[in-house]
Amino acid sequence: MIILVAVAVFVSLSLCGLAFYFWVEGRRESLAERFKSVVSSEQPSRPSEVARWKNRLEEAWKRFKSKPPESKEIVDLIVGEKLSGVRLYLNLAGYRSARSYHVYWWAKILTPILFALLAFGYGKAVGIPRNTALLLILIATATGYVSPILYLKVRIRKRQEEITDALPDALDLLVVCVEAGLGINASFVKITEEFHLSHPVLSQEFDVVNREMVAGKPRQDALRALADRTGVEDVQSLVAMLIQTEKLGTSLARSLRVHSDSLRTKRRQRAEEAAAKTTIKLVFPLVFLMFPALFIVVLGPGFITILKVLFPTIAGGG
């Protein structure tokens, strides 16, 4: 009975949210329709209320089930397109296939139900009281609802750390390629080839930049898209440096070498900071896990000897 109530509440809230989404999306008119209504000399016939709501629902359903324009490795990377919301999180996490957006929303719907069923089964197996079982189901449902976005955030942080760690090595190779006479585009291609196995995440991002420039996207726009797509501060500073060097006409190899040295210095400082934090992080396991066992081993025999001397009757009886 409890699980039925929880599922009914969840389904009702989901249907209300879906209805609100269809209502909001249905009120959005396309630019062509508004322009046509403005320039048209004749007064268009006003459709009936039922037909108008039917058109709104059809347009909202088309927007909901529409796929991104590309179905291969790279999607949502169209010239001038700005991502936001869930698509931005998916893009930052590296999920750029056509079905990733729909998979996320299915996970958003099915994961709370699965967690609620698991909590209900656990409560039945252990024999938890009804009120406690209801609270456990609600907590499991809320955990299942937020788990997809938490997973995306963890994935984004891990991906950004990999890019940050691999960027100085990529800049060293970029300096070598530029000093050897290669252009910036050919240098990006070389980085994509050389880092395919050692740093696949960074190799994929530079491969996207190469594909965009081959498709006709200006280099500055492709570099800005790289900064937006990764969300890494070091990449943003690199992109700003490359764009400024191209505009001012300064030496690219010298600028890259200076920037590479600064990134290596920052990476060393981050490592030193992480090492300095290790002492504080070790306080909890030392105090609560290792020290009690150490005290028992070191002070235990002495404590037993003191008990035998001071309280021979109690020690002998024990």
Q: Within 10 Å of residue 4's Cβ, how many Cβ atoms?
A: 9
Residue 197 lies in a domain: yes
**What is the reported pLDDT for 230?**
86
Mean pLDDT in residue range 195-224: 87
pLDDT at 306 over 60: yes
Helix (H), strand (E) counts: the chain: 14, 0
Average pLDDT over residues 125-146: 85
User: Would you say residue 210 lies in a domain?
Assistant: yes
Least confident of 31-35, 144-148, 221-225, 249-253: 31-35
Residue 40, φ and ψ in degrees, nearest 5: -70, 135
Q: 77 and 68 in contact (C-beta within 8 Å)?
A: no
State residue 31's pLDDT score: 45
pLDDT at 218: 87
HSE-CB for 29 with a 13 A CA cutoff: 10
How many domains does the chain divide into? 1
In this prediction, residue 13 carries a pLDDT of 65
Q: Is there a domain that residue 226 lies in?
A: yes
For residue 77, pLDDT over 50 is answered with no
Query: Collapsing DSSP states into helix, strand and coil, what is residue 73?
Result: coil
Within-domain flag for 168: yes
| Domain membership of residue 222 as a residue range | 161-265
Q: How far apart are CA 83 and CA 85, in angstroms?
A: 7
Question: Has residue 38 been placed in a domain?
Answer: no
**Would residue 231 count as lying in a domain?**
yes
Q: pTM score, two decimals?
A: 0.61
Residue 24 lies in a domain: no
Tokens 């989404």 — which residue? Answer: 21
Distance of CA 136 to the CA centre of its chain: 28
The CA distance from 184 to 175, in Å, is: 10
The mean pLDDT of the chain is 76
With respect to residue 110, please indicate whether it lies within any of the assigned structural domains. no
In this model, does residue 125 exceed pLDDT 60?
yes
Give the pLDDT band of residue 15 (cuts 50, 70, 90): low
| Residues 37 and 44 sit within 8 Å (Cβ to Cβ) | yes
Single out the residue of 270, 167, 275 nearest to residue 226, CA to CA: 167
